[in-house]
Every structure is written in structure tokens, then in C-alpha cells.
Amino acid sequence: MKVVELNHPLIEHKLAILRDKKTGTKEFRELVSEIASILCYEALRDAKLTPVEIETPLEKMKTNKLNENYYVFIPILRAGMGMLDGVIKIVPNAKIGHIGMYRDEKTAKPINYYFKVPNGIKNKEVIIIDPMLATGGSAVDAIDLLKEKGVKKIKFLCIISTKEGIDNIKKKHKDVDIYTAHIDERLNEKKYICPGLGDAGDRIYGTK
């Protein structure tokens, strides 16, 4: 299992604005998308390329291209949708699936309510996107569902994570690499990430 935390001055700058409670919905949404694009670049560092021949305005040449059809992005609803535009800008022809979950406020456990993925997903690389990796419950459940469909290659992209969430994925799914903009200090008694950035879904959609 590989855990990649983005350590870069621009990421730290963008996260500072994202975390600020004074940041409005429009700017928050744009920053989530921007950071998702950067995470996607990092997650595809090991992408396999296919040799092709093209013709430039001057001459023919041999080069390499990505098989975009090999990739599937799966946002965990609803907050994961905020990252979708950012990753699609990087791989515009990737397929899209959706996993719907919400957190039971009493137990902090994820409840699944929707699962829709492209045909032939077991032969593709799947990248799950969700802004927050707190306890890891939703992530583990999403990975379970995908493995039940025969998916072998899975990565998880999130903006803010915790050691607890990472460890919970590691316990059950050591073959899933995690890419995160920042690993935060702790979870509070309500299982929210601290210092965190609040409820990502509410801030993306302006529902609070």
C-alpha cells in the first residue's frame, strides 16, 4: 500500500483558503476541483502508455498515448462530485460510476443507498474520489463493493485525511494506494476531521 501526501507550497496555499470558514461556496468549489486535478496527476504517475505514430506539422514521429478508456472515476456521493470536474479535465474520456453513501449521525457508520458502475469495470483501473477520509468507513465499504464486482486495480483520492482513516483502509485493503493533499491531526468526538475544513458536501453545495 502506498500513501502519497502532496507536500507542495501551492497545495498548502490552496488548503489554507479552503479551510478558512470565510471562504465562499464558489471559491471553495473551484479549489476542490483544482486540488483534485493535482491529485489526479500524481495518481497517474504510473500510467501505462501505448506506442502510436502521429504526424506533426513538420513530420511523422513515434510517441505514446494514454488509453483513457481504461480508467473509471467513482465519486462517493455527494461530496465526491465536487472533485469530479477536476479529474475529468485530466482524463476527459474516462468512464464515470457513482456510489451513494451517507453517514448515520448516531453511529458515524456509512449507509449505502446507490451503486452504479460502467460495464466491464473489472478490467479497468478505478479511482475513487471523496474530499474527506475520516474514519475510513465509507472508503472501505466502497472498495468492498468494487471488489465484489471483480475490480483488481483501485486507488483512492482525497483532499484531507487522517491516520485513522488510512489505517482502516490498510487493515482490509493493503492493495489500494491513497493520494491525499494533507493528513490532518485527529478526529473529534463526533468523528469529524480536525482541524479539517468542515462538512465538505455542505460547503461545496452551499447547504449550510
Task: Tell me the CATH number at 130.
Answer: 3.40.50.2020
pLDDT number for residue 108: 64
d(CA 51, CA 43): 21
| 137-168 residue pLDDT tens | 999 999 999 999 999 999 999 999 999 999 99
Give the mean model confidence (pLDDT) for residues 28-41.
Answer: 96
Give the mean model confidence (pLDDT) for residues 42-68.
Answer: 96
In angstroms, the Cα distances linking 140 to 20, 34, 56, 199, 203 are: 29, 25, 46, 20, 24
Give the mean model confidence (pLDDT) for residues 51-73.
Answer: 96
d(CA 63, CA 24): 43
| 157-207 residue pLDDT tens | 999 999 999 999 999 999 999 999 999 989 998 889 999 998 999 999 988
pLDDT number for residue 14: 96
* Structural domains counted in the chain: 1
Say which of 19, 78, 141, 199 is annotated catalytic.
Answer: 199
- Say if residue 20's pLDDT is above 80: yes
d(CA 28, CA 20): 9
Q: How many Cα atoms occupy the beta-carbon half-sphere of 21 within 13 Å?
A: 5
Percent with pLDDT over 70 in the chain = 98
Say which of 107, 144, 175, 186 is annotated catalytic.
Answer: 107
Angle of the 25-43 helix axis to the 9-19 helix axis, nearest 10: 150
Say which of 19, 29, 78, 202 is annotated catalytic.
Answer: 202
Active site residue 45: no
Record the pTM: 0.92
d(CA 66, CA 46): 11
Banded model confidence at residue 120, pLDDT cuts 50, 70, 90: very high
Q: Of 129, 35, 133, nearest to 27 (Cα)? A: 35
Banded model confidence at residue 61, pLDDT cuts 50, 70, 90: very high
Domain containing 156: what range? 3-205
* φ, ψ (nearest 5 deg) of residue 193: -70, 135
Helix (H, G, I), strand (E, B) or coil at 60: strand
Say which of 19, 29, 78, 103 is annotated catalytic.
Answer: 103
| N- to C-terminal Cα separation, the chain | 36
Q: Of 141, 2, 150, nearest to 76 (Cα)? A: 141
**Cβ–Cβ contacts within 10 Å for residue 102, how many?**
15
The cell numbers describing 91, all together, are: 482524463
Active site residue 103: yes
Active site residue 202: yes
pLDDT number for residue 107: 74
Q: How many helices (H) and strands (E) does the chain have?
A: 6, 13
